[in-house]
Amino acid sequence: MSKANLLSLLEEREGQYVSGEEISRALNVSRTAVWKQVRKLEADGYRIEAVPRLGYRLTAKPSRLTLQELLPKLQTTSFGRRLTLLDVTDSTQNELRKLAEQGVAEGTLVIAEQQTSGRGRMGRSWVSPFGKGIWMSLLLRPPVSLPLTPQLTLLAAVALSRAISQQLPELDIGIKWPNDLLVGGKKISGILLESAAEDERLNYVVVGLGISANLEAGDYPEELLDKAISLKMASGESVDRSALIASVLEQFEQLYKLYLEQGFAPIRTLWEARSVTLGKRTELYTPQGKVVGVPLGLDEMGGLRVELEDGSLRTVYSAEVGASG
Ligand code: BTN
């Protein structure tokens, strides 16, 4: 018997007592062996109440991610099937890049409980405190050319928003172009794509996913509080991180398969349906300067088609979306 067998049995009957006798019968081991595994689960941070004549009852789970809890929830074929779970790292992007250079397969995932130098887009840092969020990087080796990688950014945003909606249906999640997920105008997650290519041939893409799951207001620097929010702060309930990770990987893998089979068109439609950027006057800060207009939709590459104030059309491929109004 492993800890995992015992845990699934206690989880199936969460909140209820399961007698030592029943456990030893179900798992075909002695009562002493059951007791030893209970102690091991407790050492992993589970709280298990043991009451004479009633048996064992699972009363609390660790706030730390464990493979025991995560792996049984995974429904994917390749995404997350090779998985590294770290306590602390500088950035999961760096960890996964090292593995990618060693040739690991598509779908390889690195998750960390904490990042000391988590990074965001545009050279910003990413707040990644211990045990409170989902900080992870996923490896893709897509058979597409470098200029098409922005499509994967948009795909990742759709996958994340679908997964979060599945776990927390009461939250109204919108995508701000290209890939910020917002609840009530505040950012709850971010996506960072880093590619390695030779000429235009893409070698691999490291997709960094940051979801501010269970952060409290005190976890954010003061200046971010009017721009960022966690799922817990927005919904009032703690998020089951391993269920959300499994759901993100499942949605991501499904959409990625769809993308490889049918191209960007279906992803584009899904993205547009969830966007909060379209149809509103928007300021876009591009590397070539500020563009003001009304975004109408995506083009076939993943760029944002914007109607300018003089009625002309322009497509923007890289920009920071600023204030609208
Ligand atoms: C953004 O600026 O919105 C992108 C944020 C991306 C954060 C994630 S957390 C996991 C991965 N590791 C990092 O250092 N960054 C990404």
Would you state the pLDDT for residue 9?
Answer: 92
- Tell me how far apart the alpha carbons of residues 284 and 87 are, in angstroms, rounded to a whole number: 38
State the average pLDDT over residues 169-183: 94
What confidence tens digit (pLDDT) does each residue in 243-283 have?
999 999 999 999 999 999 999 999 999 999 999 999 999 99
Residue with tokens 């779908």: 107
| In the chain, where the domains are located | 3-60, 67-273, 278-324
| pLDDT range class, residue 324, cuts 50, 70, 90 | very low
Identify the architecture of domain 278-324 in CATH.
Answer: Roll (2.30)
Task: Report DSSP state, residue 222.
Answer: G
Would you state the pLDDT for residue 298?
Answer: 96
State the average pLDDT over residues 44-70: 86
Would you state the pLDDT for residue 199?
Answer: 81
Atom 14 of ligand 1, residue of closest alpha carbon: 118
State the average pLDDT over residues 127-155: 94
State the average pLDDT over residues 33-57: 87
Q: Which fold has domain 67-273?
A: BirA Bifunctional Protein; domain 2 (3.30.930)
Identify the architecture of domain 3-60 in CATH.
Answer: Orthogonal Bundle (1.10)
Atom 9 of ligand 1, residue of closest alpha carbon: 210
State the average pLDDT over residues 280-305: 94
Paired tokens of 305: 């088609």
- Tell me how far apart the alpha carbons of residues 296 and 304 are, in angstroms, rounded to a whole number: 8
CA 126–ligand 1 middle distance (angstroms): 6
- Tell me how far apart the alpha carbons of residues 267 and 275 are, in angstroms, rounded to a whole number: 12
Atom 3 of ligand 1, residue of closest alpha carbon: 190
> At residue 156, does pLDDT exceed 70?
yes
- Tell me how far apart the alpha carbons of residues 236 and 12 are, in angstroms, rounded to a whole number: 25
> At residue 325, does pLDDT exceed 50?
no
Ligand 1, residues at Cβ distance < 6 Å: 91-93, 115, 118-121, 124, 126, 135-137, 180, 190-192, 208-210
| Cβ atoms of 206 and 137 closer than 8 Å | yes
